[in-house]
Structure formats: C-alpha cells, structure tokens
Amino acid sequence: MSSFASPPSHDAAGQAAAPPKRRLPLTGLRVVEFTHMVMGPTCGLVLADLGAEVIKIEPVEGDRTRHLLGAGAGFFPMFNRNKKSIGLNLHAPEGAEIARKLAGSADVVAENFRPGMMQKYGLDYASLSAANPRLIYASLKGFLPGPYELRTALDEVVQMMGGLAYMTGRPGDPLRAGTSVNDIMGGMFGAIGIMAALIERGITGKGQEVQSALFENNIFLVGQHMLQYAITGVAAAPMPERISAWALYDVFTVKDGEQIFLAAVSDAQWGVFCRALGFTDLLSRPELATNNDRVRVRPALLEELRGRLAGYSAADLSAIFEKNGLPFAPIVKPEELFDDPHLKATGGLADIRLTDGERAGSTAQAALLPLSMSGERLGVRLNPPALGQHTSELLAQLGYSEEQAGRLAAQGAVA
C-alpha cells in the first residue's frame, strides 16, 4: 500500500519535472496498470492527470501502441503521459513475481487483458485482494460478465453490434464514429468507478472490484435512441436521415465552398436569425410560425436558406452568429485545432516529449483532460515514458539491489 506521499516526478530525460501549482486530489495514490491500446490506458491517464502515481507494466518488448502507424500513431503519447514505465516479462517467474510485488504495493490495480490472463499469473482480484483487502481492482473489458464476455471486442465491434455505427452512417452504410469513443469513455467510466470505490473504502476500509466494458458503454451512448423508440414507437433513423427536432440545424456550404454548421433551436432564436440576416419576410409566413411548423416543411425551408446563405463567407456568418448569440461551428479538421485560439488561450494543449518512432525526442502538443480544478488545468508532470524508464527506480523500491536488477535484465525478466 502507498503511504500517500509520492516520490518526486521526473521527465523523459530523467530530470525533475516542475511540481504542480497545487496539490492534486489523487496525490499519494499508487496505481499499477496492466493495460494496452486505449481503454485501459485512458483509465490510468485520468487517475495520473489527477495526481496519482501510475505505474505502467509493459512487456519487455514494449507496449505495441508505441509503434503503430496511421490512426494508431497517437495512441501511446496521448494516453500514457504522467505515468512511469517498467518492462516485465510475465512469462518469466521472476518477472511475474515483481509484478505481484508491485501490485501488492498499490491502492489500485487496473487491467484490460482477456478474461483469465491475470489469474494465470496470480494477478487477478481474488489472488491480490486475499493479501490486501483494501485493494481496488479495475477490470476493463469488452463485455461485462454474461453470454458475450469471452468474445474478442474492439471499439468498432461494439459500435457495429450496439447500434452506434447504424446511427452514424447512412442507411445501408454503417459507419463507426471518427474516434475511439467507447475505448475512451469506457476508460473514463472505469476511473469514475475507481474513485467511487476509493470513497467507499474511506468509509468501510474495504476495497472491491470495479468493472467497465466497451459494449455496455456503447449501449449507454445509444440509450436515448432506445428510449425514443420506447416512447414514440418509431425507430430512430440513422443520423443523416433523422427527423430533426429543429428546422434550422444543419451544415451549409457557402461562399468559396466553405462549410459551416448553423442552428436555431427555439422560436426566439429563429426570430434573432431572421432579423440578423435581414430575412424578416420569413417571420410573416404562417407555415414558419413555430419550430414544429418549420420542421414540417424543413426540406423546402433548408433549400431556400441554402440559396440565401450561399453568398456569405463562413467568417461572415460566424461573426453574425457570435454577435447574436446563435449556435454555429465552422467545420474544422483535427490538425487545425493546434491553432485554435480558445485552446491556445485557455491552456487546453500541453507540450509532451515523444519517445518512439522517427520523431522520438521531439515535442508535440497533446489535449489535456477537459476540466479544470480551482481554476487550473491538469497539466503534464511526466512525459510519456520510454520503455522501462523507471524499472531501476521501482526495483530499488521493492528491495532489489543493483546487482539483482542487472541479473534480471540479463535474463530478460525486466527491461
């Protein structure tokens, strides 16, 4: 168990990192994570950003996400900042023993491997909690226990089987969401469960197992559409074919082919829109009197509005909508967000040092958790770690001498 007094932080170059401006809420909490890909690392990231000491157990060859290409290239640097790394070969008895010792020193253990794997190494909840009843153990899986629990799950798998891809794509063309929504949210719900368990442990003195799952997370995401059907008896249509609740609520292509999302979600906003754009003639038409009236003639109304708005630039419309308090959004690509004035002004991005690939040693900006505490964003105390960067430090804490650590490295038990 941790003593709730964290050791000094160090950055990827081994130098002490600047201390946070305030004591973070999870300072002194020790978390040992056996995670990979996105869901498990996201859970650990939330706890790490909130101040916990998070120790990432990696195979001696390193987490596979360190070397992914394409859409996976950002996984490791995004979800593994503020963590320490130790490389362990769990197949070697010595490596598994070190893992058990580390887990025995932890307040929280998190894992997202296939069912049964942790038990094979004596790292399951039953084994660890027998020695440490205060342990909180988070299992982050594809499915909660039930008929599907042994299936191999991915974010895309549960999006397809859980109705989200159907809702996102066009009819007959299911399409996964453009980011790892279930992996990220599943990890977040795991962290929420852990923090709730910590509060309960403070009352009862006992730990517990917390479970979070991709499929159940996906069902939570589409739950509003399930209830829509239960209430109305009408099945929810895919988003491109949905019956919108508001008449003006769409993407418009305007001057020079630019695109912008514009909305007016109340009768008052419709009036403001018409007056701001000089479309006051629309206010006198009885078929457009209320929002529901406008929804009934929405296709014809949108066609007319597209013609009226075609001569405006996206910047002009943005200025008009912002001045009048109306909802709007230019269509922005992810790479353009590095220059977003709001993110830059509010500290929503922070520099991290990259550890792997062709850009190893260079810096990039990563998005921080979307919250502030006492008016401060939760920043980067530790850069994403190099493989085994903290192995020596952690082995020393467990009582291994330098000679023993060197022998374990030579045997391939640690990295």
Which among 185, 292, 181, 176 has a CA at the least distance from the CA of 239? 176
> CB within 8 A of 143, min separation 6: which ones?
149, 151, 153, 213, 214, 215, 216
Low-confidence ranges of the chain (pLDDT < 70): 1-21
Cβ 368 vs Cβ 377: under 8 Å: yes
pLDDT at 18: 55
Q: Which of 1, 3, 10, 107 is nearest to 390 (CA)?
A: 10
pTM for this entry:
0.91
Distances (CA, A) of 114 to 18, 73, 106, 143, 359: 38, 23, 22, 10, 32
The domains spanning 30-221+341-410 and 244-334 adopt the same CATH topology: no
Average pLDDT along the chain: 94
CA 382 to chain centre: 18
Q: What does the DSSP assignment read for 283-324? A: GG-GGGSSHHHHHHTHHHHHHHHHHHHTTS-HHHHHHHHHHT
- DSSP code of residue 370: S
| 8 A C-beta contact, residue 67 and residue 366 | no
DSSP bridge partners of 263 = 249
Cα–Cα distance for residue pair 340/349, rounded to 1 Å: 10
Give the H or E element holding residue 392. Answer: helix 391-397
User: What pLDDT shows up at residue 16?
Assistant: 40
Report the C-alpha gap between 261 and 331 in whole angstroms. 7
State the Cα–Cα distance between residues 122 and 51, nearest whole angstrom.
28
Which pLDDT does position 20 carry in this prediction?
60
H or E element, residue 252: strand 248-253
Name the residue with tokens 């630039």: 313
Tokens matching residue 272:
């403001």
Reported as a single tens digit per residue, the pLDDT across 40-55 is: 999 999 999 999 999 9
> What's the pLDDT score for residue 15?
42
Predicted pLDDT of residue 22: 79
What are the sequence ranges of the domains in the chain? Answer: 30-221+341-410, 244-334
If you classify domain 244-334 with CATH, what class do you get? Answer: alpha beta
The rounded Cα 290 to chain-centroid distance in angstroms is 39
pLDDT for 168: 95
User: What residue has token string 């418009």?
Assistant: 252
Task: Note the pLDDT of residue 5.
Answer: 36
Task: Tell me how far apart the alpha carbons of residues 4 and 24 are, in angstroms, rounded to a whole number.
Answer: 12
Q: Which amino acid is at 270?
A: W
Q: 20-47 in b/e burial notation, b at 16+ Cβ within 10 A?
A: eeeebebeebbbbbbbbbbbbbbbbbbb
Phi first, then psi: give them for residue 12, nearest 5 degrees. -65, -15
Query: In the prediction, which pLDDT does 329 show?
Result: 98
DSSP labels, 98-159: HHHHHHHT-SEEEE-SPTTHHHHTT-SHHHHHHH-TT-EEEEEESS-SSTTTTS---HHHHH
In the chain, the amino acid numbered 65 is: T
Q: Please name every residue paired with 140 in a beta bridge, in sequence order, or none if there are none.
A: 212
CATH superfamily of 30-221+341-410: Crotonobetainyl-coa:carnitine coa-transferase; domain 1 (3.40.50.10540)
Residues in the chain, overall count: 415
What's the rounded Cα separation, in Å, for the pair 394 and 104? 13
**Predicted local confidence at residue 344, as pLDDT:** 95
DSSP 88: B
Phi and psi at 97, nearest 5°, equal: -65, -40
Spatial distance between the Cα atoms of 345 and 204, rounded to a whole number of angstroms? 43
DSSP designation for 103: H
pLDDT at position 19: 54
